[in-house]
Chain A
Amino acid sequence: MMTSTKAALSHFVRFAPRSGSAPASAPSAAYAAYLRSLKRRALSIQLWQIGLVAALLVVWEVAPRAGWINPMLTSYPSAIARTFTRMLQDGSLTTHTLVTLSETVVGFVGGMLLGTFCAVVLWWSSYVYRVLDPFIVVLNAIPKIALVPIFYIWLGDIASIYAMAIAISVFVTILMLYTGFQAVDEDKIKLVRLFGASRLKVLTKVVLPGSVPTMIAALKVNVGLALVGVVVGEFQAAKAGLGYLITYGSQIFQMNLVMTAIVVLAVISSLLFIGIQALESTVLRRHGGVGGGN
């Protein structure tokens, strides 16, 4: 019987259980027991996780029917599943998803390219950086999302969404990349300069390659931000897309529409994130470095 302290110590050290009169071949048996207990633990954790989700779904289905919560506000898993399959079959779900997805991709790609260019300019001329620095800080402190209505007025319903996604990504990219450029190992830059490299060469041969991990980190952040920007833009302006479904659905109290859209949004979001993780591992493996040019 383990005392609570020993249970706590299993946090950072694993030890064999006491075996008083066990024979000399006991190590293998005890180790086998240990491995079995590990497997059991992993299994029980997974069961708990599945169980929690199942319990949530059950409560969600039962509670509105029992009158505990208002079904207008929450809908039921069964209704949501039905709406999901219906929309999938008649193609409307695919349309909306693609709209949002394309806007997001254009947004973060555009934002990253523009942001990288601006970061390079700021790195190139420290003079320009020092002049523009306070403006950038101020512009960064403004919640860009507050500009959604004004973008809508200026650019109309479609372009404003792209603009919002790009606008949000640009600032984050500039800040992250500029910091990343500055963090590239000084000694590496010195090395290349001693070989007579021009500023352009320093940029292309040391700073940019050395900032690949930072760029991937910025990409991760941008995808999330662009998706958010697009969805909020769609709240305001759109006639298609997942954000539109959410707003429209909640306005006509069709929560199954809202929930379907949210579920799809969560799935896309996770897929994009996983995709970038995969990209990260491939790139970093080839690249061989972790963090600003080590």
Chain B
Amino acid sequence: MAVPDQTIPTHPAVEIQGVTLNYFTPDRETLALANVSLTVEQGEFVAIVGSSGCGKSTLLSLVSGLLPPSRGSIRIDGKEVAKPSPRVGYMFQKDTLLEWRTIIDNVLIGAELLGIDKIVARRRAEDLLVRYGLGDFLHSLPGQLSGGMRQRAALARTLCCEPDLLLLDEPFSALDYQTRLALSDEVAGILSAERKTVILVTHDIGEAISMANRVIVMSRRPGRIKSERKTDFPSFGPTRPTPFQARKCSEFANYFQTIWDELDIHQIH
């Protein structure tokens, strides 16, 4: 009997189950994350918002394999995470470009470390940089570029190794507001075109709502998941609006208000 192809289940991209993290320093122990569970499907764009210190960046470190959880498990594509993998791309708040290398050499750092074929990698790197508007700056040093351009180069570096999962840790917070708006449009476009699975961590609610399919709110330390909601914009039409267009949709203000109320930033203590 013929079995339809679709019955072979694909694993969700990321499965976080009951994860707890205890953080130790000589002075005190801190419970950073308490029993966090989250599932991210393939191709989904998920944003996590929360006040400072709620553990959202720590959660990304756990997913990337840089830290092990104290309890619970994290699986990527059904496999337990043991250590960092090139299939997972990580973008930091600072561009962390190496100051002594040219832009193209910076983009190729991942390929160098992983031993990927140099010619293939170089072609891909050049292609990415040209697409992001940095074609004239292949051989410049990071110090010669603006903040926005450096973040774009960092994005190229992250995508050069063709990761399946992208973890973005407040990648735009170090930029000025206008650059941030422009860049989030570009990045959202690139990532959806390539159908990447993305987990974005940010404290900018507007950014989260406009860029992501689903927004997750985390409570303050110890971090727990407070709520999840899909952020669709049916008033725009059948397709999803770009982040900039999304801000003008009527649903935007509602989402913003609800999430704002949920975040306990404004509670003085």
Contact = CB atoms under 8 A, between A and B. Distances in A.
Interface residues of B, number: 18
A14 B84 contact: no
B68 A15 contact: yes
Given A3-B83, A6-B68, A9-B66, A15 B29 contact: no
Contacts of A35: 26
Contacts of A285: none
A31 B26 contact: no
B83 A31 contact: no
Contact of A34 (B24, B31, B66, B67): B24
A6 B81 CA distance: 13
A30 B70 contact: yes
Nearest to B25: A14
B23 interface: yes
Interface in A1-50: 3, 5-6, 9, 13-20, 22, 27-28, 30-31, 34-35, 38
A35 B51 CA distance: 30
Contacts of A18: 68-70
Given A30-B22, A35-B26, A15 B67 contact: yes
B70 A16 contact: yes
B22 A16 contact: yes
Interface residues of A, number: 20
A195 B67 CA distance: 57
A17 to B, nearest CB: 8
Contacts of A17: 70
Given A9-B66, A38-B26, A15 B21 contact: yes
Contacts of A15: 21-24, 67-68, 70
Q: Most chain-B Cβ atoms within 10 A of its Cβ — which of A13, A15, A31, A35?
A: A15
B24 A9 contact: no
Interface in B63-78: 66-71
Nearest to A2: B68
A14 B70 contact: no
Nearest to B22: A16
A31 B30 CA distance: 10
Contacts of A22: 71
Contact of B70 (A3, A5, A19): A19
Contact of B29 (A9, A20, A27): A27
Contacts of A34: 24, 29
B28 to A, nearest CB: 8
5 contacts: A14-B23, A14-B24, A15-B70, A18-B69, A34-B24
Interface of B: 21-26, 29, 31, 61, 66-71, 82-84
Given A16-B70, A34-B24, 17 more contacts: A3-B83, A9-B66, A13-B61, A14-B23, A14-B24, A15-B21, A15-B22, A15-B68, A16-B22, A17-B70, A18-B68, A19-B70, A22-B71, A30-B70, A31-B29, A34-B29, A38-B26
